[in-house]
Structure 1
């Protein structure tokens, strides 16, 4: 009985550590995207939240509507890429957890 409990405790600790690792990896996501004309660079985190914006001198050549379009498109691309990275991490985590589950708990 002690061996079974020890094995269970060890598995739970491994899974908990893996969950913490996932949280750290997701918190570390940062994506920088620059517009094709180089006018705008946007950086977002793993939630797609804007963390930084950098404008080059090129923005002075843009109309307000062009500037808005470039800014929104660039930040949107960065957010999309960040969410994709986050999704990849979660998918890998879920696969790893499913593979580590005993057959009895998965219903096999």
Structure 2
């Protein structure tokens, strides 16, 4: 195998790894619920909101409790998604 062939093979291998990383990052979706499953948030790998599910339990919450539940649940989902993203990138760089 010539040096050029070896270089081309290495480039193709690296391209395949990059494409797989991109696919894996795009596939991240994390769902997180608060303790009593009143609020469930789904986010993608960039921590963007994908879905929000609210149970009937929200009717027993004050506006402040509702806000806190949504914000804390969304933040937890985002942290989990970004942690997964970080793990994939670390594995890629490893």
Name the TM tier (shorter chain): over 0.9
Separation of aligned partners in 2, 1:14 and 1:38: 44
1:18 aligns with 2:17: yes
Match of 2:37? Answer: 38
Deviation at residue 38 of structure 1 after TM alignment: 1.2
* SS in structure 1 at match of 2:10: helix
Confirm or deny that 1:3 pairs with 2:36.
no
Q: How does 1:57-68 map to 2 (within 5 A)?
A: 57-68=56-67
Aligned to 2:36, what secondary structure does the other structure show? coil
TM-score (norm 1): 0.85
What is residue 101 of structure 1 aligned with on the other side? none
Q: How many residues align?
A: 94
Deviation digits for residues 72-102 of structure 1 (CA, Å, limit 9, x no counterpart): 000000000000000000000011xxxxxxx
1:37: Cα distance to partner? 1.6
Regions of 4+ moved over 2 Å: none
1:69-108 maps to which residues of 2 (within 5 A)?
A: 69-95=68-94
Measure the CA separation in 2 of the matches of 1:35 and 1:52. 14
Distance 1:40 1:22 in 2: 31
Which has more radius of gyration? 1
TM-score norm. by structure 2 comes to: 0.97
RMSD: 0.8
